[in-house]
Amino acid sequence: MTLILFTILCGWPFDSWPLKAPEADQPTFFIEQIEIQSRGRVPEGVILAESLLREGQAYTESQLKSAGQRINRLPFVLESRFQLERGSKRGTYRLVIHLQETRSLFLQARTEFRHFQGEAPDQTYDITTLGGRWFFGAHNLLYATVSPDWRWSDASRSRQESYALGYSHYNLFRRHVFFDFQLLYFDDHAVEVLNFNLFSGFRISPVLTVSAPLKGNHFLKVRASLTDSDQDASDTLFQTVESQQRSFPNGDQETLSLAWHYDTTDDNFAPTQGESFFLDVRRNRIESFSFKLETTDFFQERELLWTSDERIEYKVWSRYQKQIPWRQRHVLRWAGEFRWSRSEYDRLLRTQLFEENRLVDEIEESESANEVLSGLTAEFGYSYDLWGNQRTRKYGDLRFDALFSAESVHSDFDVGETSYRSYRLDTQVQFRNSWGVFGLGVYYTWDD
């Protein structure tokens, strides 16, 4: 299925579609030449492929605006500005794109303080990413990242180290198709202080993404991933010699998603105008296998619990967000989100009891279940430009954001139904410059 969708996206004549039907009341500009003025950190081919602009074509003002928005949404672009100059002939124009790029090496660092109402312990997150981007050729990008993350609370301590190595092409087969392949590796470690549990494991996941433009600001995206996980969990922190318990869960996950996106926002860091919408449909297939070993009486008795699970998930996820410029330096935004999923479970349980290395009893049972989950989320946000001068973007952006969200979730199991509502208030300060993104956030969550 992934190969079929990939072939359709790469073979379809997307480049023959116009950016947007020209408005009758808008003048057109015949672009004789396109010039990009930058520091040369990003190839011109990448910028032109993302803009969907070509020399020798006529565009309206709205089409040129949409092209600039697409460039500004690139993760390695701080700002782009368009300037039209007279061409060599009457009625022709020369388009100059002034570009401010990020550096090849980048750093992202963020600290989050999360407070939960009730008995849930407060948590602190320290999230760091160090990475590099290396362009070669006209449209090729090679990147690598290292991300050590820490989470702290009164009940647990955890650390996750993730590594990513990827390759991107921004104009596959010269059809403005974006192609990305990355290999992810996660190394997880956790300690549950109250239950005296230790946990460690790793996950390896190759991810393939293909995105193709449609008309105007619409595009289709196909994403496929495979995940292989291997874990080790035990309560050996304060256990005795007479009794020990250890489990070894592992599994595989296959994910295939098809999404339609519409985006007119003007920035990837802190958009000040525009709207975005996506509809994502995906299928997950999860297989997991684990065995749990318990020993008692100085290893004279052993109990093995074998568990085999297979789960098929079908998910639909949709989200709409709109930015509203309120006053100078002030931006309001609101968003709505809908999620629906259906899961089918099949589980096989087998228990084996050994005494003095001899099997004395074995019990096997199976069970299956279905679950339907639906959720609605409403968000209302406010953003403030602390520097208040768009021309300072090449030196950095400093923003304050506040967001209130309300979520309602309904679950329908074979044995019954459950519903809950939760609310969250987020405040954060973020700074971005050519070296990276740095942030500090405080979150408060409560429910009914």
| Residue range 305-328: mean pLDDT, rounded | 91
Q: Which amino acid is at 138?
A: A
pLDDT at residue number 363: 82
Q: How confident is the model at residue 21 (pLDDT cuts 50, 70, 90)?
A: very low
Q: Which residues pair with 241 in a beta bridge?
A: none
pLDDT at residue number 237: 46
How far does the chain reach from its first CA to its final CA, in angstroms?
43
Q: How confident is the model at residue 362 (pLDDT cuts 50, 70, 90)?
A: confident
Residue 307 reports pLDDT greater than 90: no
Q: What angle do CA 265, 167, 48 make, to 5 degrees?
A: 45
Higher pLDDT, 203 or 7: 203
Residue 275 reports pLDDT greater than 90: yes
| Residue range 326-339: mean pLDDT, rounded | 95
pLDDT at residue number 238: 45
Contacts of 392 (CB under 8 A, 6+ apart): none
pLDDT at residue number 197: 65
Residue 88 Rama label (left phi>0; alpha psi -120 to 50; beta): alpha
| Residue range 336-353: mean pLDDT, rounded | 89
CA distances to 16, 35, 47, 431 from 54, in Å: 12, 11, 11, 34
Radius of gyration of the chain (CA): 26
pLDDT at residue number 245: 53
DSSP codes of every residue in 118-163: TTSPPEEEEEEEEEEEEEETTTEEEEEEEEEEEEEESSEEEEEEEE
pLDDT at residue number 242: 44
Q: How confident is the model at residue 11 (pLDDT cuts 50, 70, 90)?
A: very low
Please write the tens of the pLDDT for every residue from 187-219: 987 776 555 566 677 889 999 999 999 988 999
Q: How confident is the model at residue 336 (pLDDT cuts 50, 70, 90)?
A: very high
Instruction: State how beta strands 156-172 and 177-192 pair.
Output: antiparallel
Residue 67 reports pLDDT greater than 90: yes
pLDDT at residue number 240: 46
The pTM score is 0.84
Q: Is 354 exposed, middle or buried (0-12, 13-18, 19+ CB in 10 A)?
A: middle
Count of CB atoms within 10 A of residue 199's CB?
17
Q: Domains in the chain, ordered, with CATH?
A: 2-101 (3.10.20.310), 105-447 (2.40.160)
pLDDT at residue number 401: 97
Q: Which amino acid is at 139?
A: H
Q: Is 224 exposed, middle or buried (0-12, 13-18, 19+ CB in 10 A)?
A: buried
Q: Do residues 406 and 378 make contact, with C-beta atoms less than 8 angstroms apart?
A: yes
Q: Do residues 281 and 258 make contact, with C-beta atoms less than 8 angstroms apart?
A: yes
Q: How confident is the model at residue 102 (pLDDT cuts 50, 70, 90)?
A: very high
b/e code 301-333 from CB counts within 10 Å (16+ = b) = ebeeeebbbbbebebebbbebbbeeeeebebeb
Residue 75 reports pLDDT greater than 90: yes
| Residue range 435-445: mean pLDDT, rounded | 96
Chain-wide mean pLDDT for the chain?
85
Higher pLDDT, 277 or 365: 277
Q: In angstroms, rounded to a whole number, what is the distance separating the alpha carbons of residues 83 and 88?
A: 16
For residue 205, what are its two tokens?
């996941």
Q: In angstroms, rounded to a whole number, what is the distance separating the alpha carbons of residues 306 and 350?
A: 5
Highest mean pLDDT among 8-22, 250-264, 354-368: 250-264
Contacts of 294 (CB under 8 A, 6+ apart): 243, 244, 245, 302, 303, 305
Q: Max Cα separation, the chain?
A: 96
